[in-house]
Amino acid sequence: MIDNQILVGAQRQAELEAAKAAFFASGGQPTVLAGFSYKPPPFRRHPEPKPKIPKPVKESARQQRNAERTALIAEMAKTMTCREISQELGIPQNTLWTMSQRCDFKFVPGVQGGRDSPYTDASEDAKLAERITALRDVGLSRYQVQKQMTICNRTLLRIIKAFDLDFPKAKGKRCDGPI
């Protein structure tokens, strides 16, 4: 088996030697063959698209009822909250909010937290303002005033804004060392 492979290899080597001898006998110059030349396909002309003619819109009875209902809700939204309209008409609030987004109208803002008024009593606010002013004059920071009076930051800001108190946000920081 190995002898057969050796014989086949020797035969192939002899053929290569004969081909080399014929090449050098013909002058030893390579022959240049013509290569492939690319020719692009012809330009295709596409027809202009036909203009689309919109179909006439025929308003159905259902669309008419929806338009009337939307107009009614938009009119009610000028004086009522979303919750009030929902309770009166029996329509879910998320449906009303979606409708207001689509039809670009807004509801009267509701009172947060279920209170009758969003702020506390004016006389209580005045008392808080006096205490805040006194604590500020002593030298306490906003944070310290909140902790001392056990009020939240939102209440403190509301009082400061309502009574136009001059209460700095933070004391100026000093740097004694080199910068």
What is the pLDDT, as a whole number, of residue 114? 55
**Residue 46 domain-assigned (yes or no):** no
Expressed as residue numbers, the domain containing 135 is 122-162
Q: pTM to 2 decimals?
A: 0.35
Task: State which amino acid sits at residue 35.
Answer: G
What is the pLDDT, as a whole number, of residue 175? 45
Shared domain for 74 and 105, answered yes or no, is yes
What is the pLDDT, as a whole number, of residue 179? 45
What is the pLDDT, as a whole number, of residue 177? 44
Low-confidence ranges of the chain (pLDDT < 50): 174-179
Average model confidence (pLDDT) across the chain: 85
Domain count, the chain: 2
CB 179 within 8 A of CB 145: no
